[in-house]
């Protein structure tokens, strides 16, 4: 099986190919905004100028309807909607190509795709590291119109019909661009700064699901994703809300998405809302492929489907990231409302007292349940030290993983009490929700590095303070299926497995 290429790899190979043929090459030039043109090539020979625009796909499976869907926006239909169809009108005298990798399956679906390209004058380039081959020639829209008009047998009515067809039926490509349908998934390059980050490759993998209980929902997403008009935030929120209701029996709280708008004012901030949904999709695919080996054992032990626990854990694991960054968005709020500029004043704005909240809101009890799930039989006050480690991570460091785990258990208990009054039941059981909370509580780097005893980025010698308090000296490692706890440099053996 051939290794799949990245978009940047293909872009590099195509650049080399056209440069070797005398073209001046420009990638994602700001000159063409709002269009996000992957590759623009230009060559002058005397008075003649030749231009080429290339759109790139790395997909293994190419289906006609994925690349040339018919879209209905309001009352206007855009037939065979595609970035390359837009480029034809944006660059009417330019040859437009689709570049695809050499590992594409050239099946019936691909042949249908190729037929549309041929009909519309869109060229095809089969690309690899060693070779770029022109599979289908391109001719510009201007050339296509001229070819149809240069026929002395045509009547004025026929000429009007030809021109009218282009004016009436296709120029709305320009009117509706850059509608999110185009800007979001097809024309925009996916970079680290992109907020819409759901991978095409991952979406396509969802069509292979066979085992997990919500496979039909995700396969529906796979079949319709490219045609959906909402942005990735809307799509993620819609599916997570529906999945929680149908498979967990819980209402998904949507406050995280609203907090995202504040956090994203920090240029260094990485998006966390759509990220959760994409993590869920990746895990769903992995679970589906290994389902027969783990599902029955998990259900026997926890009386819950493993994929429902994964749904809860993955889509909630960064829920309290805004709380971890409370200072950032609180300062931003005061700057926007009271126009506060003083650095000293900003430093005094942190009014969050989680110590009191843990006691008053019974959050202390939720944290105890999470720590107990570690299932380690500790001696003396060692268990208290482990609890103190997590407690400090919650109230002092405001670790978003630990706080998200506590929030999930609180949400579950509150929902359980409400359902008891309304005589409804939650689908996911208490054992399952505890497993989800444990996974969430341990997922952050600052926690799992301590639990496994490793020296990653945060705990490398250059990052550790010279003196640590006892809580910070607590770390874990998994060896020979037994836990060890390190307290003040001394190793304490413990029984119990995870």
User: According to the model, what pLDDT value does residue 469 have?
Assistant: 44
Cα 364 to chain centroid distance, Å, stands at 33
| CA dist 185 → 61, 100, 178, 266, 318 (Å) | 17, 17, 11, 24, 24
| Strand partners of residue 52 | 41, 95
- Tokens coding 425: 């039941």
- What is the full DSSP assignment across 413-459? HHHHHHHHHHT---SS-HHHHHHHHHHHHH-SHHHHHHHHT---TTT
Per DSSP, helices labelled H in 303-427 are 306-314, 321-324, 326-338, 343-347, 354-360, 363-372, 382-395, 400-422
| SS3 label, residue 151 | coil
Structural contact between residues 42 and 51, judged by C-beta atoms closer than 8 angstroms: yes
Residues 6+ apart with CB under 8 A from 291: 210, 211, 212
φ and ψ at residue 180, rounded to 5 degrees: -55, -30
- Cα–Cα dist 112/286, whole Å: 31
Q: Would you write out the chain's pLDDT as a tens digit for each of its 498 residues?
A: 457 888 889 999 999 999 999 999 998 887 887 677 889 999 998 888 999 999 999 888 898 888 888 776 666 677 787 888 888 888 889 999 999 999 999 999 999 999 999 999 999 999 999 999 999 999 998 888 888 788 767 788 887 877 777 666 665 565 544 433 333 333 333 333 444 457 777 888 898 999 999 999 999 998 888 666 567 888 889 999 999 999 999 999 888 777 776 676 665 666 788 889 999 999 999 999 999 989 999 999 999 999 999 999 999 999 888 776 666 666 666 666 666 667 666 666 655 556 666 656 667 788 888 888 886 666 657 777 788 888 888 887 788 899 899 999 999 998 988 876 666 778 999 999 999 999 999 998 878 877 776 655 444 444 444 444 433 434 433 333 333 444 444 444 443 333
Residues 6+ apart with CB under 8 A from 461: 455
- Cα–Cα dist 358/354, whole Å: 6
Model-level pTM? 0.56
- Tokens coding 273: 């809302």
User: According to the model, what pLDDT value does residue 215 have?
Assistant: 95
Burial class (CB in 10 A: 0-12, 13-18, 19+), 115: exposed
Structural contact between residues 100 and 124, judged by C-beta atoms closer than 8 angstroms: yes
- Tokens coding 226: 């490219």
User: According to the model, what pLDDT value does residue 197 have?
Assistant: 59
């Amino acid at each position: 099986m051939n290794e799949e290429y990245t978009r940047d790899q293909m872009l590099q190979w195509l650049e080399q190919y056209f440069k070797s043929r005398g073209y001046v090459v420009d990638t994602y030039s700001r000159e063409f905004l709002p269009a996000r043109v992957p590759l623009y090539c230009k060559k002058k020979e005397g008075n003649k100028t030749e231009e080429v625009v290339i759109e790139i796909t790395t997909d293994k499976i190419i289906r006609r309807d994925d690349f040339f869907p018919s879209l209905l926006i309001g009352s206007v239909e855009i037939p065979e909607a595609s970035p390359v169809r837009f480029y034809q009108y944006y660059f009417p005298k330019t040859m437009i190509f689709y570049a695809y990798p050499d590992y594409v399956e050239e099946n019936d679906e691909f042949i249908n795709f190729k037929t549309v390209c041929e009909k519309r004058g869109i060229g095809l380039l089969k690309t690899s590291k060693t070779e770029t081959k022109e599979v289908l020639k391109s001719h510009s829209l201007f050339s296509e119109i001229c070819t149809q008009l240069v026929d002395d047998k045509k009547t004025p009515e026929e000429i009007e019909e030809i021109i009218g067809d282009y004016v009436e039926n296709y120029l709305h490509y320009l009117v509706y661009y850059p509608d999110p349908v185009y800007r979001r998934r097809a024309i925009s390059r996916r970079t680290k700064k992109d907020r819409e980050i759901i991978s095409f490759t991952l979406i396509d993998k969802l069509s292979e699901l066979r085992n997990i209980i919500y496979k039909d929902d995700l396969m529906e997403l796979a079949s319709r994703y490219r045609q959906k008009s909402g942005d990735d935030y809307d799509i993620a929120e819609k599916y997570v809300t529906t999945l929680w209701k149908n498979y967990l029996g819980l209402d998904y709280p949507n406050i995280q998405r609203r907090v995202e708008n504040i956090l994203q004012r920090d240029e260094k901030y990485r998006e966390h809302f759509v990220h959760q949904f994409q993590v869920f999709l990746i895990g769903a695919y992995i679970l589906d492929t290994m389902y027969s080996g783990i599902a029955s054992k998990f259900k026997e032990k926890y009386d819950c489907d493993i994929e429902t626990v994964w749904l809860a854990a993955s889509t909630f694991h960064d829920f309290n990231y805004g709380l971890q960054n409370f200072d950032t968005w609180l300062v931003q709020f005061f700057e926007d409302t009271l126009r506060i500029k003083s650095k000293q004043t900003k430093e005094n704005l942190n009014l969050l007292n989680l110590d009191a909240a843990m006691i008053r809101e019974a959050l202390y009890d939720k944290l105890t349940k999470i720590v107990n799930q570690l299932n380690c039989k500790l001696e003396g006050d060692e268990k208290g030290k482990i609890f103190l480690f997590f407690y400090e991570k919650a109230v002092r460091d405001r670790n978003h993983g630990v706080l998200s785990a506590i929030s999930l258990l609180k949400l579950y208990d509150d929902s359980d009490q409400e359902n008891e009054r309304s005589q409804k039941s939650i689908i996911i059981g208490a054992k399952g929700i505890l497993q989800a909370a444990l996974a969430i509580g341990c997922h952050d780097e600052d926690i799992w590095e301590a639990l496994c005893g490793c020296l990653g980025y945060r705990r490398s010698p250059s990052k550790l303070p010279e003196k640590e308090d006892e809580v910070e000296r607590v770390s874990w490692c998994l060896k020979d299926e037994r836990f060890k706890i390190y307290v003040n440099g001394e190793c304490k053996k413990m029984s119990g497995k995870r």
